[in-house]
Amino acid sequence: MILDRQLSTLEKEMVPWEPICREQVQFRPERRHFKAFAFWRATEHVATVNYRLSAGILQEKSPLPRMWRAEIEGRDHEFFQDSFAYAHKAFGTITEKNLLEEIPAPSATGRDKACLAVFLIGHGRDEYGQLVVYLRMNGIFLGQPALERSRG
């Protein structure tokens, strides 16, 4: 299905460069014209949205309350990767027959599965753009070997 391919593309772009050294993940641009998260917080935000929207598609309770901040401390990258696995699980349940099936509240009032899947991908793309800017502000350009990145 095209939605799952789009999710895979986003995952391949985001997941490999997420575990960056601690000094860089603490980076946060100045708050002049936009709401700014620290880099690690932005990746956590992507994972949280992935979990919540995927739970809506699956019409089940989100696993987030069981594994929130205290439990993900030090496992940020694993939490990030697992959110994509959970999204793939949700996208795998979408078929041509249930694509426009409305999801009852409280999962996602007045939304269908296609809407949630498209929003998950769109949201990830938006955050991806912001994270690329964060990396560039730290002298890291996608596609550079790790050794070149550390030299600056």
Tokens matching residue 60: 């089940």
Q: Which three-class secondary structure state does DSSP give residue 111?
A: strand
Give the amino acid at 56: G
Query: What pTM value is reported for the model?
Result: 0.77
Give the model confidence (pLDDT) of 61-97 as tens digits: 888 755 555 566 666 678 888 999 999 999 999 999 9
Q: CB-based contacts of 112: which residues, under 8 Å, 6+ apart?
A: 99, 100, 101, 102, 103
Q: Which three-class secondary structure state does DSSP give residue 145?
A: coil
Q: CB-based contacts of 71: which residues, under 8 Å, 6+ apart?
A: none
Give the model confidence (pLDDT) of 32-66 as tens digits: 655 566 667 778 889 889 999 999 999 898 887 55
